[in-house]
């Protein structure tokens, strides 16, 4: 009889025993679906109905309802007037967890792979809020450069590729409320007018990635792409940083495609599922 994961019980072995000749998927799909629901609930602090939640994550209503019922019984989900929110147990466990240790372990090998392919520095930032992020991991394509340059750093949202991607997730009206009309200048290329920045964000939305061209430091060129969950929500940003003369060239389309694949790989490593749009 098949187990809940769809595997024959005989395929599961103890300790370090291996199943000869075949790879066995031991993941529990119901658990993965439950984590998808929890992630989406985190974006609806005022609550969301089961129908709305199911539609948001591409799940059937009966499946979503069954999982929510189980999560409610264990304190991971609360329900008031048929609207669901994250529960007290999520908050308790959140205070105990290291926010990024597990994520770094999953992301670092991917960054090293693509840094070697691109021969540049590749970084990953975890999104905390609409305009807040943490650069948690990076890798250099140069064997002579093994120090971290960007981890732990934050940069002005109008003068960073990561910041532009965050802003592009907002409406023009929200951007106008969040930023002053006059923006701080760092180089002669910095976009210092809010209206001009909003026009630049239209391009980011259209092409699906952000570019920083000598706007923070002269000669620094950065390309950043979004990492999204199964519902299409932004969870992180992967970027490649390097000199303008190397990255701003005929190879830029290939660099963007490599980074797009890195974003897919990171999403799969972090979420355990294929991200939206893959």
User: Residue 57 in contact with residue 69, Cβ under 8 Å?
Assistant: no
Q: What CATH code is assigned to 9-88?
A: 1.10.10.10
What is the rounded distance in angstroms from the CA atom of residue 119 to the CA atom of residue 140? 7
The CA-atom distances, in angstroms, between 61 and each of 23, 53, 68, 239, 255 are 32, 8, 10, 37, 40
CATH T-level assignment (fold) for domain 101-271: Beta-Lactamase (3.30.450)
Residue with tokens 């199911």: 54
User: Residue 164 in contact with residue 210, Cβ under 8 Å?
Assistant: yes
Q: What is the pLDDT of residue 189?
A: 95
What is the rounded distance in angstroms from the CA atom of residue 273 to the CA atom of residue 36? 9
Beta bridge mates, 126: 134, 236
pLDDT band at 3 (very low <50, low <70, confident <90, very high): very low
Within the chain, which residue ranges are assigned CATH 3.30.450.40? 101-271
Q: What is the pLDDT of residue 171?
A: 95
- Phi-psi bin for 123: left (phi > 0), alpha (psi -120 to 50), beta? beta
Query: pTM of the prediction?
Result: 0.68
Burial class (CB in 10 A: 0-12, 13-18, 19+), 28: middle
Range of weakest confidence among 7-11, 110-114, 146-150, 245-249: 7-11
Residues comprising the chain, all counted: 278
Q: What is the pLDDT of residue 148?
A: 52
* Phi, psi dihedrals of residue 210, rounded to the nearest 5°: -115, 150
User: In this predicted model, what pLDDT tens digit does every residue of 163-177 receive, in sequence order?
Assistant: 999 999 999 999 999
pLDDT band at 226 (very low <50, low <70, confident <90, very high): very high
User: In this predicted model, what pLDDT tens digit does every residue of 184-194 receive, in sequence order?
Assistant: 999 999 999 99
Range of weakest confidence among 39-43, 123-127, 164-168: 39-43
Buried b (16+ CB within 10 A) or exposed e, 33-55: bbbbbbbbbeebeebbbbeebbe
CA atoms within 13 A on the CB side of 182: 0
Q: What is the pLDDT of residue 18?
A: 45
Buried b (16+ CB within 10 A) or exposed e, 264-277: bbbbbbbbebebee
Report which of 221, 257, 223, 253 is spatially closest to residue 237, judged by C-alpha positions. 223
Burial class (CB in 10 A: 0-12, 13-18, 19+), 105: exposed
Q: What is the pLDDT of residue 162?
A: 94
- Output the six-digit token pair for 259: 């980074």
Sign of CA dihedral 216, 149, 166, 225: positive
Report whether pLDDT(233) > 50: yes
Within the chain, which residue ranges are assigned CATH 1.10.10.10? 9-88
The CA-atom distances, in angstroms, between 170 and each of 131, 240, 241 are 10, 23, 24
């Amino acid at each position: 009889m098949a187990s809940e994961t769809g595997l024959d019980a005989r395929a599961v072995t103890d300790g370090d025993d291996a199943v000869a000749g075949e790879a066995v998927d031991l993941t529990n799909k119901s658990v993965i679906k439950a984590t998808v629901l929890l992630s989406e609930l985190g974006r609806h602090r005022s609550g969301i109905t089961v129908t709305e939640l199911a539609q948001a994550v591409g799940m059937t209503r009966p499946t979503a309802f069954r999982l929510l019922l189980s999560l409610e019984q264990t304190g991971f989900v609360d329900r008031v007037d048929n609207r669901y929110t994250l529960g007290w147990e999520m908050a308790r466990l959140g205070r105990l967890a290291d926010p990024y240790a597990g994520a770094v372990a999953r992301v670092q090998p991917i960054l090293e792979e693509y840094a070697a392919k691109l021969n540049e520095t590749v970084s990953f930032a975890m999104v905390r809020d609409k305009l807040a992020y943490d650069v948690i991991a990076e890798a250099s394509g140069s064997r002579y450069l093994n120090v971290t340059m960007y981890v732990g750093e934050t940069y002005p949202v109008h003068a960073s590729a990561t910041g532009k991607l965050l802003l592009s997730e907002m409406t023009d009206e929200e951007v106008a409320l969040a930023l002053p009309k006059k923006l701080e200048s760092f180089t002669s290329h910095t976009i210092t007018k809010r209206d001009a920045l909003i026009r630049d964000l239209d391009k980011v939305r259209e092409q699906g990635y952000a570019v920083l061209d000598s706007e923070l430091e002269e000669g620094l060129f950065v390309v950043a792409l979004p990492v999204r969950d199964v519902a299409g929500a932004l969870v992180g940003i992967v970027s490649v940083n390097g000199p303008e003369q190397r990255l701003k060239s005929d190879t830029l389309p290939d660099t963007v495609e490599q980074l797009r694949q890195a974003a897919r790989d990171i999403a799969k490593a972090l979420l355990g599922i294929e991200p939206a749009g893959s």
